[in-house]
A = this chain, B = another copy of it.
Amino acid sequence: MGQETIYFGRFVSAPTPDELLIRTGAVLVDSKNGKGVITKADWTIDGPNGAVSKFGVEAPVVMPKDNGFFFPGFIDTHIHASQYPNVGIFGKSTLLDWLTTYTFPLESSFGNVNSPMYKDSIEPPDPLARAKKVYNRLINRTLAHGTTTASYYATIHVEATNLLAEIAFKKGQRAYIGRVCMDRPETCPDYYRDESTEQTMANTKASIDYCRSLDPSGELLAHIITPRFAPSCLPETLTQLGALAKEEDLRVQTHISENLNEVKLVKELFPEQKSYADVYDHHGLLTPKTILAHAVHLSKEEMRLVKERKVKVSHCPASNSALGSGFCPVRELLDEGIEVGLGTDVSGGYSTSILDAVRNACMVSRHVGFLNEGDSRYNLGVAEALWLGTMGGAKVVGMEGRLGGFAEGMLWDVQEINLGDVDVRGQGGDTDVDIFGWENWEERVAKWVWNGDERNVRRVWIGGKLVHERR
């Protein structure tokens, strides 16, 4: 491939919460120095040849199929890569028992041969082989689902975390990799925790160094400081992690107010702080580069603090429903001026797909509306939920203006969507989205949102580079 590519056809995006923008046109993408930036965009061009002459370049033209369109890549602002094998395995648990029953055993198996998960294993434990299999598959799956950027939690293990970084980097996904920090003995199992603040910091630095060795620019791959959540870290660790994030100018991710018992636990463990948000603030972890997952049960005061510190929120609706955590008041967060994106929260969430998160965000918002006397103001529509999954996500990961749309200067992190046709005998494409022919384009996009899956994702590019193609 040369340095430039023209993409011509239908482009769909959600530049604002209220607007589904559906246009035909062309963009020119420049892949010099490997960045893949949109250098020109023109919404008057009505054919591939027109694009070539309008842009004045002899570049190859890439087009979606007739029933297809380009859509910004999804941004998953909260996903536990190591938990992927557990998707769907949560029984009737809620957060705190879910962690000890399902999550810690699995995560520990990525680095500890004495993990409870190996207890009944016939084959000898091989943590790194397991990590390799899981991470390879997970990155393949998220790419297939159109996730071009993801903020990952790995495990506490440096080697396995570095492996995740390497796999994501090789496959070309834009990824923030978090080595999980957890070292408070009262709340972490013996078989799965850092030994001390010193070890936590040393291992975190080792992982930061490794990510920088792969991508010194931090453009495609960067470490993200990851205290699991307040209860799992020694107070001194929280303080040092906050300082490190500041020193190294790194993103931070953690959890907040997902579950009422968790909120209670934080109150008990940090009696001196006046709220859960205040615990993080006290330790210097509320920064404009911080992603807080969940935020289901924040008080008004906490929301204001989050807003004031320009902290971002990852809304994980599938997880909140599956674990019975509650109803995230997304409209209130947005009204407060807080920046919100979507997260799959695998495996609290059962799906690796942000399109599924888009659906669940819509569904949960209707529940919130119902609980507020049917006030439809709480409703997230298709456009707004897609906006959360793209533009919202871009803000959350600090890539506002660079990801989530098709404006000049933005990165070509894009998925090509294809929808199915139906003939009179009832035959159609091998997807769950059936287009009968009379639907307008807004309706077609809605049909994709509600029944689409990775079969509708034909190709995925990140930084102008093709990273996934369906069969």
> Which residues of A line the B interface, CB within 8 A?
84-85, 87-92, 94, 117, 121, 129, 132-141, 260-261, 321-327, 350-353, 359, 362-363, 366-367, 369-370, 374, 376, 379, 381-382, 422-428, 432, 434, 436, 438-439, 443, 446-451, 453-454
Contact = CB atoms under 8 A, between A and B. Distances in A.
Chain copies in the assembly? 2
A425 B129 CA distance: 10
B88 A324 contact: no
B453 A351 contact: no
A451 B322 CA distance: 13
Contacts of A423: 133
10 contacts: A88-B448, A89-B447, A129-B424, A132-B424, A133-B422, A136-B425, A323-B366, A324-B376, A327-B367, A350-B451
A366 B92 CA distance: 9
Interface centre among A117, A132, A261, A422 (most CB of B within 10 A): A422
A394 to B, nearest CB: 25
Contacts of A121: 438
A175 to B, nearest CB: 15
3 closest Cβ pairs, A-B complex: A136-B426, A88-B450, A324-B366
Contacts of A370: 324-327
Given A87-B451, A88-B449, A374 B260 contact: yes
Contact of A140 (B350, B374, B427): B427
A90 B447 CA distance: 10
B453 A453 contact: yes
B363 A133 contact: no
B85 A363 contact: no
Nearest to A109: B438
Contacts of A382: 91
Contacts of A321: 363, 366-367
Given A260-B374, A324-B374, A363-B322, A87 B428 contact: no
A465 to B, nearest CB: 18
B136 A424 contact: yes
Given A366-B321, A438-B117, A438-B121, A447 B137 contact: no
Nearest to A438: B121
Given A322-B366, A324-B369, A438-B121, A351 B141 contact: no
B139 A87 contact: no
Contacts of A353: 432
Contacts of A447: 87-89
A232 B183 CA distance: 63
A61 to B, nearest CB: 29
Contacts of A422: 133, 137
B446 A89 contact: yes
A362 to B, nearest CB: 8
Given A423-B133, A424-B129, A89 B140 contact: no
Contact of A85 (B260, B327, B367, B436): B436
Given A422-B133, A451-B350, A89 B325 contact: no
Contacts of A376: 92, 94, 324
Nearest to A137: B426
A446 B381 contact: no
